[in-house]
Amino acid sequence: MTPNVSRRGFVQKAAIAAAGSLVIPRFSIAKSLGVNNKLNVACVGISHMGKGAVKAGLTENLVALCDVDWRRDDPEWKFFPNDISPAEIADQNPQAKTFSDFREMLHDMGDKIDVVMVSTPDHTHFPATMAAMEAGKHVFVQKPMAHNIWQVRTMQKAAQKYGVQTVMGNQGHTFEGARLIVEWFQAGVLGEVREVHCWTDRPEPTYFPRQKQYPPVSAPVPEGLDWKLWQGPIPEKEFSPIYAPTTWRGWWDYGVGAMGDIGCHCLDTPFWALELGMPTKVEVELAEPANKHFTPKGAHLIYHFPARGKMPPVKLHWYEGTIRPPKLPGMDTMPSNGMYMIGSEETVYHEGMRPESPMLWPRKNMAKYGDLLKKRPLPRVKGGPHKELLNAIKGGPTPGSNFDYAAPLTEVVLLGGLAIRSGKTLKWNAKKMKITNHKEVNAFVKEPVRKGWEYGEDLW
């Protein structure tokens, strides 16, 4: 049986269709906590990546669950081990009210919600997060923060205006390994760093099934899926099972390819340690011609970051799919994901998309530094970004990947996505938020949206 999705849903959907949007009242940010010192948590997008948000919500008061897809029988709900459908998650949490439209949720329950956790596909991160902040809610949003650069900058402006706690879900930013790399660099162990290499095996077929035609073969919209809401601000298309629920990442309208999927993880630590800021140019090499609909099977980017104070310019290489980085000396096999930074004194390396176990390379060089590698000046984080946000709302430290940090990081990632999408080397004027050498690509810096999905225009 499908959960009872928003008892006033039919009436309010009619109002949305007629007026273009639903007016959501702004509620003051909660100054005191509820029963037993608990926060009231609402989750938008509750399966797959949303499971972590639901789990975090259960440590507080989980009061609302919102998802556009209440199907029980789609085999892709078993895409990840131990995964279950949104409907089954709702069954397990009868205390939480269920909705299909986050705007209805905020309208109906705004005064009963303290924090909103957004784990939807990339193209709906922006409207869901903006609506929550405009209503005075603290927010978690999955990586990447949004689908285009204008949205990312607007979300940063909104967080500053509304004074809410924010965090992006790049879990590695809370890891011990990220802090170790930053500390080693700051201690001078690496020396000057001018070259960084980051890579992933994605887009591989499991997450990015390739198509031989566009548009893909359409199908009737399954019962239980609100296809219009799933598309959100994107111009409407016919439904295809190749889009939803899990395989949207490779489609440029909905995702940002492998770069959007992994870039906020793998680029995070060098971005933090080297204080990279904005690049002036991104070079691109593709494994196949650029496709305006779908991400290519492989790509290599070279970001050019200028000197920052006393730190030299940096070339950051990104590799995805079929294009791989050079092996480090003495490395037998190249892992599927990883990062290394080459310094004038030492090279630091970690396997995996996140910095779980960093080391100097070759590893024997660790012995040269003794106690220097044991210093821990940076504060540590217990738990991941969900927990970090909840602690911050209760008076703890501001999350490390708050929007003032995460917005510039995501902008770098999205700029790389535009280079891959266009297949063109791009020169970037960050101050003007403009691509200066291929101006037609600026159409994707701020993308058009459907009526009723406009947010943040008043912040500019």
- CATH superfamily, region 173-207+252-379+403-444: Dihydrodipicolinate Reductase; domain 2 (3.30.360.10)
Confidence category of residue 77, pLDDT binned at 50, 70, 90: confident
Of 12, 14, 43, the residue nearest 107 (C-alpha): 12
**Residue 11 predicted with pLDDT over 50:** no
Domain boundaries, the chain: 9-172, 173-207+252-379+403-444
User: What is the per-residue pLDDT across 80-127, written as a single tens digit (0 to 9) for each?
Assistant: 778 899 999 999 999 999 999 999 999 999 899 999 999 999 999 999
| Predicted local distance difference test score (pLDDT) of residue 215 | 86
Better-predicted residue by pLDDT, 32 or 34:
34
Q: How far apart are CA 284 and CA 282, in angstroms?
A: 7
The 10 Å CB-count burial string (b at 16+, else e) for 107-122 is bbbbeebbbbbbbbbb
Whole-Å CA distances, 285 to 317, 346, 420, 423, 435: 11, 28, 8, 7, 18
Confidence category of residue 73, pLDDT binned at 50, 70, 90: confident
Q: What is the mean pLDDT of the chain?
A: 93
Confidence category of residue 8, pLDDT binned at 50, 70, 90: very low
User: What is the per-residue pLDDT across 309-361, written as a single tens digit (0 to 9) for each?
Assistant: 999 999 999 999 999 999 999 999 999 999 999 999 999 999 999 999 999 99
Crossing angle (nearest 10°) for helices 9-19 and 102-109: 110
Strands (E), 45-154: 61-66, 97-99, 115-118, 138-141
DSSP 8-state code for residue 308: B
Least-confidence region, from 29-33, 267-271, 393-397, 442-446: 29-33
pTM of model > 0.85: yes
**Residue 455 predicted with pLDDT over 80:** yes
**Residue 17 predicted with pLDDT over 50:** no
Least-confidence region, from 31-40, 59-68, 373-382: 31-40
- CATH fold of 9-172, please? Rossmann fold (3.40.50)
% of the chain residues with pLDDT over 70: 93
| Predicted local distance difference test score (pLDDT) of residue 31 | 47
Longest dimension (CA), the chain: 70
% of the chain residues with pLDDT over 90: 84
**Residue 21 predicted with pLDDT over 70:** no
Q: How far apart are CA 227 and CA 238, in angstroms?
A: 9
Least-confidence region, from 76-80, 124-128, 195-199, 263-267: 76-80
